Structure 1
Amino acid sequence: MKRFYVGSSFKNIANVRYVAQTLESKGYVNAYDWTQNASARDAGTAALEDLRSIGQQERDAVMRADVVVILLPGGKGTHVELGIAIAQGRRTILHSADQDINNPATTSTFYHLPEVEKCHGTLDDLLAMIVGRDVPAASA
């Protein structure tokens, strides 16, 4: 059973949920669904103690995931998650709907590390990349 984590910004919750639900339908297990915290954070009602707990859960989920998917654009937390995934040697896939991550004026050096797989295009392209690689060679 493969565990996954999807990191992104609150602006991308619909996309995060789409990717997560599709992966779950393929037998993957979500290491942590941070989108459940959206209401408290959006309303500005989360206390610092709550944020610490959420941060610990997100960190732990990235560390136990087999694959970490980063959907751009992302915020500060997304980039911290990217760093944790790279440092932990997790399969890390960076998705961008366009080629912006290859623009030297807007990219991050970390996007171009050899450990980071890049996917440009639709979310379905991303999902095919994830699931396709995880299919055993004899079944492909």
Structure 2
Amino acid sequence: MNFYTASSFRNIEIVQFINDQLIKQGHHLTYDWTQSERVDTPSALQRIGQLELDAVRASDCLILVLPAGKGSHVELGIAIATQIPVFLCMLDPTSWAGLEASTFYHIGDITPCIGAPEDWVQTILNSKKTCLSK
């Protein structure tokens, strides 16, 4: 399976944990943004944006770790628009059905993963979604 994990820099350690666990199981990360530094120039933003767009497009599924920022939600939109399955990871259900929930969390092929990061990985690995069989 090719996968991409989207989130914000504040979740970098959790994202690295998920990536490491899936890679150990033989899956392929399409782009590791956690190895990048924050950028703010137009040319650097364009370069990173293109890498991330290409990575989402090359993925069999997208993993979105909440809370996440605007860039991650753009990546979610790309996944929904291109019918890439999404695993929506959160510590508690507030983001799924509470005040922090987005309408876009409830359209397309979205699987909520609620609990600890270890639970998210297990849900992803146990999924019968087609993205895991590629």
**TM-score for both structures, normalised by structure 1:** 0.86
Q: Could you tell me whether the CA contact under 8 Å between 2:6 and 2:65 is conserved in 1?
A: yes
Q: Which residue of 1 aligns with 2:109?
A: 115
Q: Which residue of 2 aligns with 1:20?
A: 19
Match of 1:54 among 39, 43, 48: 48
Kindly tell me the number of residue pairs found equivalent between the two proteins.
130
> Letter of the aligned partner of 2:88 in structure 1?
L
Q: Give the distance between the partners of 2:127 and 2:100, measured in 1 at CA.
A: 29
Structure 1 unaligned spans of 5+? none
Q: Could you tell me whether the CA contact under 8 Å between 2:85 and 2:108 is conserved in 1?
A: no
1:27 positional shift: 0.2
**1:98 alignment partner, SS class:** coil
1:75 aligns with 2:74: no
**1:105 alignment partner, SS class:** coil
Q: Could you tell me whether the CA contact under 8 Å between 2:87 and 2:111 is conserved in 1?
A: yes
**2:62 alignment partner, SS class:** strand
Q: Give the distance between the partners of 2:18 and 2:120, measured in 1 at CA.
A: 9
Deviations 1:27-74 (A, max 9, x none): 001000011112xx1xxx542101101000001100110110000000
Structure 2 unaligned spans of 5+? none
1:113 positional shift: 1.4
**TM-score for both structures, normalised by structure 2:** 0.90
1:97 positional shift: 0.3
1:121 positional shift: 0.5
Q: Give the distance between the partners of 2:108 and 2:55, measured in 1 at CA.
A: 23
Identity %: 38
**1:118 alignment partner, SS class:** strand
